Structure 1
Amino acid sequence: MSKIRREPRRSRGGTNVVYLVAGGIVLALIVAFAVFAVLDSRRGGGDIAGVRSYDVGPGNRHAQGDVDYEQTPPAGGVHSPVWQNCGFYDEPVREENAVHSLEHGAVWITYRPDLPREQVERLRELAQSQTYILVSPYPELPAPVVASAWGKQLRLDSANDERLEQFVRAYRQGPQTPEPGAVCTGGVGEPS
């Protein structure tokens, strides 16, 4: 009987390393894509530069008459028992009614009366293109445009700042809303 000689196997270590490196790169790309997808879908206000948070207490605290608010414009707190109808207004609205709209999940966008006309028109279009948006001029505003939601606020130099729409996406009927789904019509005011 003759013995069969087997040739020693050649090491395929080089090929394995290539597969491992390629697999690692693919895995890293998948993980990066998943992380970006999660962050993009969250669109929470925590990733919007400049958003301020305030402890305005729970909703459902009604008061008759005027309220002295800590923020300008107010971002929540005690408010009128009747909400402001959402939409666009050419004249200032009563703070206490607007705060009640915030409790219902509205975003109240205020602007200085001297804001350039094209920016005012952009705000009008924003208010008319979706529900739960309240837009009104606000004298003595600390910035040209201020977006407020219940307990949240963002000051902007322009209505064209991309953070305005990010704020609206994050907080209109957002997780901070004390009464999500409550109406933003049937209250006071006639939007134009």
Structure 2
Amino acid sequence: MMRKVKNYGIVLLVIGGISYGVYLFAQSVAPKGEDMSQSIPLLEATHIATDSPLGEYNSNPPTSGPHYGQTARSGFRSEPVSDQNIIHNLEHGDVWIAYHPRISEAMKEGLKQFAAAKVIITPREENETDIALVAWGRLDTFTIEGGVLPEQRIQDFITRYSNKGPERVPGASGGI
């Protein structure tokens, strides 16, 4: 009888230890800050030809809507990429970090740490602020204060919204 109680106790301790480890891991990868993004009403996600008129979007940068059939490669880019290519990436669950070209070279270097599969970083002259964090139906825009890149805010956005598009395509996006 005592042996059974001891075995049950050991099993409970092991289960408790594993549960606590899973809890700690979940806490370490969970977003740490407040979600500063806003939800943007979704537009119809239709593929359009590259020579088609573009129509209107309901956010700057756009978070959904008509887009080209070709995606853009993930990673850091120093040249602009068409919004309509990147909208297709967003549909696949990618996150887009659009930076205004006026930001400093140091800030651009700081953004490179976020370049990964499912994250595309591009300059965008049309931005109204220094940085726009964009996912399917989500947008967070801000101006860099005091020359400090808000790394945690950016990482939290990626953590929250990566792989949340209506078409989940694993791995890095191919494309232009």
Per-residue Cα deviation, 1:8-51 (whole angstroms, up to 9, x for no partner): xxxxxxxxxxxxxxxxxxxxxxxxx9xx97x958947xx73421
Contact 1:48–1:167, Cα closer than 8 Å, also in 2: no
The letter for the 1-side match of 2:158 is: V
> Which one has a bigger Cα radius of gyration?
1
TM-score normalised per structure 1: 0.67
TM-score normalised per structure 2: 0.73
Identify which of 113, 134, 143 aligns with 2:120: 134
- Identity rate of aligned residues, in percent? 27
User: In structure 2, what is the equivalent of residue 125 of structure 1?
Assistant: 113
User: In structure 2, what is the equivalent of residue 104 of structure 1?
Assistant: 92
User: In structure 2, what is the equivalent of residue 169 of structure 1?
Assistant: 159
Q: CA deviation at 1:70?
A: 2.0
Q: What is the aligned-residue RMSD (CA, Å)?
A: 2.7
How many residues are aligned here? 148
Q: Provide closer, same or farther for how the CA distance between residues 121 and 150 of structure 1 changes in structure 2, counting only shifts above 3 A.
A: same
Q: CA deviation at 1:71?
A: 1.2
Q: Provide closer, same or farther for how the CA distance between residues 184 and 63 of structure 1 changes in structure 2, counting only shifts above 3 A.
A: farther
Unaligned runs of 5+ in 1: 1-32
Identify which of 70, 79, 90 aligns with 2:78: 90
What is the rounded CA distance, in whole Å, between the counterparts of 2:174 and 2:155 in structure 1?
Answer: 26
